[in-house]
Amino acid sequence: MLKIAQTNEFEDLSSRGFTYEKGGESISGFVVHQYGQYFAYVNQCPHTGAPLDWVEHQFLDSDKEYIQCAVHDARFVIDSGECVLGPCSGQSLKQLPIVEKDGDLLLEEI
């Protein structure tokens, strides 16, 4: 397992980006903390393949209700990654398996 963040880096309804290596390739991901739970996704919009953030660690809309794509304003449900608004409606972000252990967030082997 790979440590990607510490839980004390998050306030409720906040997000944070990270990168990891897989097969010699650097992959961008992010974690969202919502009501005591953590959700991780690949930082890639299913519509265009573009990164979701323009500002580092900023993946949520202004109301902090949805993950938001900065390119075309698509909105994704935080706990499922499902697109509910925008050109990718019905598609989903690729979820990454993580576990919380002793204050660390760990990415499981994928």
| pLDDT tens per residue, range 1-59 | 999 999 999 999 999 999 998 889 999 999 999 999 999 999 999 999 999 998 999 99
Structure pTM? 0.94
Phi, psi dihedral angles at 29 (to 5 degrees): -135, 180
pLDDT given for residue 110 in this prediction: 67
Question: What is the rounded distance in angstroms from the CA atom of residue 91 to the CA atom of residue 94?
Answer: 10
Distance set, CA 70 to CA 44, 47, 64, 91 (Å): 11, 12, 14, 17
Residue 53 DSSP label: -
Question: What is the chain's percent helix, strand, coil content, to nearest 5?
Answer: 5, 45, 50
pLDDT at 58 (0 to 100)? 95
- Statement: 2-107 belongs to CATH 2.102.10.10: yes
Position 62 pLDDT exceeds 70: yes
Q: Assess whether pLDDT exceeds 80 at residue 109.
A: no
Q: What is the DSSP letter of 92?
A: B
